[in-house]
Amino acid sequence: MTTLVPAENRSPRAATLWLIACAAVLVLQIVIEYWMGRTPICECGTIKLFEPNANGPGNSQHLADWYTPSHIIHGFLFYGLAHLTLRGKPLAAKLLLALVIESGWELLENSPVIIDRYRTATISLDYYGDSILNSAMDTVFMALGFFSPGVRQ
């Protein structure tokens, strides 16, 4: 099993710092989305494990939806990218790169400019972007894809 930090960097302090940096990226994503005016949870007031209606108002508002597999695939792809670009670096450094990319994507995807463009270019006039919960879970699902046993050696 691959560890988060290679043998030469396995001090508890180094591992802790990498993991704090990874957690900080997710927390920063959540704070920025809140600052951008994103809704914390679905305006319906409930939290579902999965929203089955891809065209309904609950889509992109709950823990998982029909877009969740695409975020898991992001994890596969970002692991590959990090493996190629950060050879010899700890797995946690590679995860940090993946989290920065995914969080950046989530922030861009849920920015007013992109949401307004999506609403203008499609028939989804009632689309207002992801809830903060859904966006954060998209990032968590990317990390699950990143750690998928089929992706790593």
> Which is more confident, 148 or 25?
25
pLDDT at 129 over 90: no
pTM greater than 0.75 = yes
* C-alpha dist (Å) from residue 120 to 41, 53, 77, 106: 24, 22, 30, 20
Find the mean pLDDT for residues 42-52.
Answer: 93
Across the chain, mean pLDDT equals: 88
pLDDT bin (cut points 50, 70, 90) of residue 115 is confident
Q: Residue 125 has what pLDDT?
A: 58
Domain boundaries, the chain: 9-146
What size, in residues, is the chain? 153
Check: CB of residue 28 under 8 Å from CB of residue 15.
no
Q: Residue 78 has what pLDDT?
A: 97
**CA–CA separation, 72 vs 23, rounded Å?**
18
The SS3 call for residue 44 is coil
Q: Give one word for 37, left, alpha or beta, with left for phi > 0 and alpha for psi -120 to 50.
A: left
Find the mean pLDDT for residues 98-105.
Answer: 98
* C-alpha dist (Å) from residue 85 to 79, 124, 151: 10, 38, 16
